[in-house]
Amino acid sequence: MQITEELVSYVAQLSRLRMSPEETAEMQKQMSEIVSYMDKLNELDTDGVEPLSHIFNITNVLRDDTVAPSYAREDILKNAPEHTEETFVVPKTVE
Amino acid sequence: MEWEIVMGLEVHVELATKTKIFCSCTTEFGGAPNTHCCPVCTGMPGTLPVLNRQVVEYAVRAGLALNCDINQYNKFDRKNYFYPDLPKAYQISQLYLPFAHDGKVQLHTKSGRDVTIGIHEIHMEEDAGKLVHSLFGDTTYPDYNRCGVPLIEIVSEPDFRETEEVIAYLTKLKSTFEYLGISDCKMEEGSMRADVNLSVRPKGSTEFGTRTEMKNINSLKAIERAIAFESKRQIELIESGGRVVQETRRWDENKEKTFAMRSKENAQDYRYFPEPDIPPLYITDEELAHYRAICPEFAEAKAARFVSDLGLAQEDAEIIAGSKYLARLFEETNAIANDPAEVRYWMMTQVLYFMNERGVQAEDIKLAPEKFAQFIGIVKAGRINRQVGKQVFESMFFGDDSFDVEAYIKEHDLEIVDDKSLIEETIAAVIAENPKAVEQYKSGQTKICGFFVGQTMKRLKGKADPAAVNAVLAEALKKL
Ligand SMILES: [Zn+2]
């Protein structure tokens, strides 16, 4: 698969990342390396092999439906770049 | 040209668990903003979500109730999107292997048609937070109390052709989930939300037209209006030579219109991939057998039993059995009163009236079956007549726990007047004071009898048995 500059910009836009032309070029190089490694894996014959859905062979890691205290609101908010006493603050996201 | 509307529904239902789907924060409604939050549900780096056992049980029981095949082995995926209602920048959902698929729901519509709607699949996922937008400034305030509340999303096949089918379907989902006790399905509060995919095509055509998706519809009435608006919009667009664009449209309840959402929000590329934090689920045969065994009696079976065993009319039986709460009030009251016709009478007249005219919700009814049965005993003993009964019932229905039927009747002096001589005296007085009416009666206008009855009942404060008054009046008039 070809990792083009357009594709890198598109993925960056989906993630709301702003990148300089130099960063875009660097990303294009790194992502190409990752994807070509996938191509290497594709050389293997995987007919009849079940897709791996989790790296450990475990199922049903579950917890009981019991309420535990939530965090203090000031602790929840304190890492945010901007917040009021009650909520986070983000740029307006409505039409 | 005659047009046919084709619709499919995506219904989100909040599950009534105590805690969120991946953390132990409470799901309780309300609460000050961002007070039901922890590092997991606010998407802090390095946290590990752990699936709530109860979510799986509720979800699978919903799937069985909608006649789905259960994928005993199922798993979670990441749906990536960047929007501040979801602080992780992805939603944990099920795409590749959802827990339920290929179900069906039988509907009996308002106009009496039987329709089957296919269920494409049901998956588990987490709810997003609430965004409060500032009215004047350029900021938005996220509240993550609802973020991580468990949801199931029920995706139907595009099998709907009429609005009444959509209404019957949503009504049935609500009733079914109420009986299962897995959700309260309150559309107005957002615990059940419907997105409608709608397209139109010439009647008789087998190809689908281009569809739009309507979001943000939060009542059955709004859904009716949104479908009417959007189908008309599409038909007029096509008939005037235009083309329907596949897009998400927002239903604006106040303007009664749908609006296209910004095209950027329509660019959907969720880059799903398997969720590495949640190991796959395996639902055992034993669990499935257990869930089938504890499946409650649903509306249709209950209604059929009300008809065959208790002699209710089908229509009444469907209304009462359609709500777990009405059915429970009916059954528990009848278990004491042992008179289904009389219990039905008060439910179908008074209770339904309060629901339709005063917005009482079935789940909020406080009336105790014991009190209701006691009231019915008093009516049947002839101690109050039906007219007075309505007044007593209303006070009892809206009264609190301390309401005492006997004390109320006594305090307001409502017990029936069965003193024949008092009725005779009252009628004699009415006749004596209304010579004009007597003249009219004598000249053959027998309709005036109603006037005499009315005057007599008024003086007796409505407490006499109308039949007794009529009998005494007939005698008195004969003697004139
Ligand atoms: Zn939490």
DSSP for residue B276: T
Question: Exposed/middle/buried for A45, CB within 10 Å: 0-12, 13-18, 19+?
Answer: exposed
Give the phi and the psi of residue B101 in degrees, each rounded to 5: -155, 165
**Half-sphere exposure in the Cβ direction for B374 (13 Å, CA):** 15
Task: Give CATH 1.10.10.410 domain extents, chain B.
Answer: 420-478
Write out chain B residues lying below 8 Å of A54, CB-based. Answer: 75, 274, 276, 279-280
Using a CB–CB cutoff of 8 Å, tell me whether B31 touches chain A. Answer: no
Residues 54-73 of B with CB under 8 A from A: 54-56, 73
Using a CB–CB cutoff of 8 Å, tell me whether B33 touches chain A. Answer: yes
- State which residue of chain A sits closest to B280, comparing Cα positions: A59
Q: What is the pLDDT along chain B (480 residues), one digit of tens a residue?
A: 899 999 999 999 999 999 999 999 999 998 999 999 999 999 999 999 999 999 999 999 999 999 999 999 999 999 998 889 999 999 999 999 999 999 999 999 989 899 999 999 999 999 999 999 988 889 999 999 999 999 999 999 999 999 999 999 999 999 999 999 999 898 888 899 999 999 999 999 999 999 999 987 889 999 999 999 999 999 999 999 999 998 889 888 888 888 887 655 545 789 999 999 999 999 999 999 999 999 999 999 999 999 999 999 999 999 999 999 999 999 999 999 999 999 999 999 999 999 999 989 999 999 999 999 999 999 998 888 888 899 999 999 999 889 999 999 988 888 877 777 788 888 888 888 888 888 888 888 878 888 888 888 888 788 788 888 888 888 888 877
Cα B121 from chain centre: 23
Contact A62 B140 (CB under 8 A): no
Q: Residue B248 has which token pair?
A: 């998400």
Residues 122-161 of B with CB under 8 A from A: 131-134, 137-144
Q: Which amino acid is at A26?
A: E
Q: Helices in chain A by DSSP H: which ranges?
A: 5-14, 21-42, 73-77
d(Cα B137, Cα A84) in Å, to the nearest integer?
A: 14
Residue B172, CA distances (Å) to A13, B164, B187, B264 in order: 42, 12, 13, 36
Give me chain A's average pLDDT, please: 90
| Cβ-nearest to B281 among A15, A59, A95 | A59
Q: Residue B286 has which token pair?
A: 């034993």
- State which residue of chain A sits closest to B264, comparing Cα positions: A14
- State which residue of chain A sits closest to B17, comparing Cα positions: A65
Nearest to A3 by CA among A36, A39, A28, A33: A28
| Cβ-nearest to A65 among B18, B132, B271 | B18
Residue B413: its pLDDT value, please?
Answer: 82
**What are the structural domains of chain A?**
5-42 (1.10.20)
Residue B267: its pLDDT value, please?
Answer: 58
Mutate to test the interface with B, among A9, A58, A87, A94 (most CBs of B within 10 A): A87
Residue B306: its pLDDT value, please?
Answer: 97
Residues 89-118 of B with CB under 8 A from A: 89, 97
d(Cα B452, Cα B388) in Å, to the nearest integer?
A: 19
B108 bridge partner residues: B114
Contact A89 B141 (CB under 8 A): yes
Residue A70: its pLDDT value, please?
Answer: 97
Between the CA of B42 and the centroid of ligand 1 the distance, in Å, is: 7
Q: Note the pLDDT tens digit of each residue in B210-260.
A: 999 998 788 999 999 999 999 999 999 999 999 999 888 988 888 888 888
Using a CB–CB cutoff of 8 Å, tell me whether B447 touches chain A. Answer: no
DSSP for residue B363: G
Within 10 angstroms of residue B106's Cβ, the number of other Cβ atoms is 12
| SS3 label, residue B436 | helix
Residue B432: its pLDDT value, please?
Answer: 85
Nearest to B176 by CA among B53, B319, B322: B322
In Å, how far is A95's CA from the nearest CA of chain B? 7
Q: Is residue B366 within 8 Å of B354, Cβ to Cβ?
A: no
Residue B261: its pLDDT value, please?
Answer: 77
Between the CA of A54 and the centroid of ligand 1 the distance, in Å, is: 24
Q: Residue B213 has which token pair?
A: 């998706």
In the numeric block, the tokens 């079914």 are attached to: B176
Cα A17 from chain centre: 12
Write out chain A residues lying below 8 Å of B141, CB-based. Answer: 84, 86-90
Instruction: Give the Cα-Cα-Cα angle B467, B412, B430 (nearest 5 degrees).
Output: 45
DSSP for residue B238: H
Write out chain A residues lying below 8 Å of B262, CB-based. Answer: 95
Residues in contact with B30: Cβ distance below 8 Å, sequence separation at least 6, in sequence order: none
In the numeric block, the tokens 């004009």 are attached to: B436
Residue B254: its pLDDT value, please?
Answer: 85
What CATH number belongs to B420-478? 1.10.10.410
Q: Concatenate the DSSP letters of all residues of B161-216 into one string.
A: -SHHHHHHHHHHHHHHHHHHTS----TTTTSEEEEEEEEEEETT--S----EEEEE
The answer to ipTM > 0.90 is: no
In Å, how far is B46's CA from the nearest CA of chain A? 14
Residue B263: its pLDDT value, please?
Answer: 53
Q: How far apart are the first and last CA of chain B?
A: 73
d(Cα B66, Cα B192) in Å, to the nearest integer?
A: 16
Write out chain A residues lying below 8 Å of B55, CB-based. Answer: 65
Spell out which residues have Cβ within 5 A of ligand 1, the ion. B 23, 25, 38, 40-41
Residue A57: its pLDDT value, please?
Answer: 81
Residue B98, CA distances (Å) to A57, B77, B120, B278 in order: 19, 9, 10, 14
Using a CB–CB cutoff of 8 Å, tell me whether B449 touches chain A. Answer: no
Question: Exposed/middle/buried for A36, CB within 10 Å: 0-12, 13-18, 19+?
Answer: exposed
d(Cα B387, Cα B462) in Å, to the nearest integer?
A: 7
Using a CB–CB cutoff of 8 Å, tell me whether B163 touches chain A. Answer: no
Scored b (16 or more CB within 10 A) or e, B307-343 reads beebebeeebbbbbbbbbebbebbbbbbebbebbebb
Question: Is a pLDDT exceeding 90 seen at residue A20?
Answer: yes
